[in-house]
A and B are shown apart, each in its own frame.
Chain A
Amino acid sequence: MKKPDEHDSHDQSHEHTHDKDMCRRYLGSLSDYVDGTLGDELCEELEAHISVCENCRVVVDTLGKTVTLYHQLPSPELPDAVKSRLYTVLDLTAYVPESRTGSEEDGQ
């Protein structure tokens, strides 16, 4: 991680010492950048910008981390009772599959 020393803004500071319009310009590209789908040229421009703009560097990194954290969020399971009521409502009780025991809810 590059942390340019010349830029002494603190994490909590809202002070963008760089041209705010510049940062705003890249805002629309951040999501594509995080997905790796941003075009080469814009990608280079953005990387040049975040190498000198600490706030934008943090935004890019934490945006990527946000997406990763959500990817890792455990999925809620379909409870057996809900599933069984679904089959009843749909008039498919003859087809209820064997319920898998031990599939405990993940997390929380």
Chain B
Amino acid sequence: MSKSDDAALVTRLQAGDQAAYAQLVEENASRIYRLALRMVGNETDAEDILQETFLSAFKAIDKFQTRSSLSTWLYRIATNAALMRLRRKEPEHVSVDEPIESDDGDFMPRQFFDFCCLPEEDLLRGEARAEMTRAIEDLSPTLRSVFVLRDIEGFSTEETAEALDLSISAVKSRLMRARLKLRERLSIYFSQGPIVSESRKP
């Protein structure tokens, strides 16, 4: 949606136009739900976050500033709601201030299985995809939020930074760590021959 479309919609939203509310929901609900589901990993919480996001947005629409886009603003609300929920559930794993520059020890690659050469049917099969989904869920929420916005939802680095209230360098650093962790995990998964060969059964 262009900035001018956004501005027109915001004017209608701020005037309390119900059809405008419905339009905002219709245009964004699917992506917000997807984002929430990737963040929290279960449908019940994702639905709660979806509802919370729009309830909060409707309540705060008067304070919305048009310098950010409506959808980025919604993602920001949704991501915060997801992080808050995760923090309640697993507080020890969710620190807002996760150090950005720490030792690279954890991120130094250890797996060197070249899974690029595997047939696409092995890489894309359902079981591999289920493992990929689990791998996202096993990332720390701070890495997960950046990865989901950048590599799943296709946000730019700048949009991700805005939605998560992070600096560009923090986004890049977290994205790198997330990708390296996932690469490690997929390398282990794909190097397990039996699972791969199982897929070749008729």
Chain A residues at the B interface, C-beta cutoff of 8 Å: 9, 11-14, 24, 27-28, 30-32, 34, 54-55, 58-59, 61-63, 65-67, 69-79, 82-83, 85-87, 89-90, 92, 94-95, 97, 107-108
CB of B114 within 8 A of CB of A92, answer no
Chain A residues touching B, majority SS: helix
> Which of A67, A77, A85, A97 is in CB contact (< 8 Å) with B26?
A97
| Chain A residues with CB below 8 A from B84, complex form | none
Starting from the known contacts A27-B109, A62-B183, 15 additional A-B residue pairs (CB-CB under 8 Å) come to: A11-B113, A14-B110, A30-B179, A34-B179, A54-B112, A58-B113, A61-B114, A62-B113, A70-B147, A73-B152, A76-B33, A86-B47, A89-B54, A95-B21, A108-B130
CB of B182 within 8 A of CB of A70, answer yes
Given A69-B186, A75-B34, A78-B33, residue A108 in contact with residue B25 (CB < 8 A): no
Interface segment, B90-98, B121-129, B158-166?
A: B121-129
- 26 residue pairs of the A-B complex, CB under 8 angstroms, read A28-B176, A31-B175, A34-B179, A58-B114, A59-B112, A59-B183, A62-B115, A62-B186, A66-B183, A66-B186, A70-B151, A70-B152, A71-B151, A72-B124, A73-B129, A73-B133, A73-B152, A75-B34, A76-B37, A82-B43, A85-B51, A86-B29, A86-B54, A87-B22, A89-B51, A92-B18
Cα A12 to Cα B180 in complex, Å, equals 17
Q: What is the total of A-B residue contacts with beta carbons within 8 Å?
A: 131
Cα A77 to Cα B50 in complex, Å, equals 13
> Which of A75, A82, A92, A107 is in CB contact (< 8 Å) with B22?
A92
Cα A79 to Cα B34 in complex, Å, equals 11
Chain B residues at the A interface, C-beta cutoff of 8 Å: 18-19, 21-22, 25-26, 29-30, 33-34, 37, 43, 47, 50-51, 54-55, 58, 104, 107-110, 112-116, 123-124, 126, 129-130, 132-133, 147, 151-152, 154, 172-173, 175-176, 179-180, 182-183, 186-187, 191
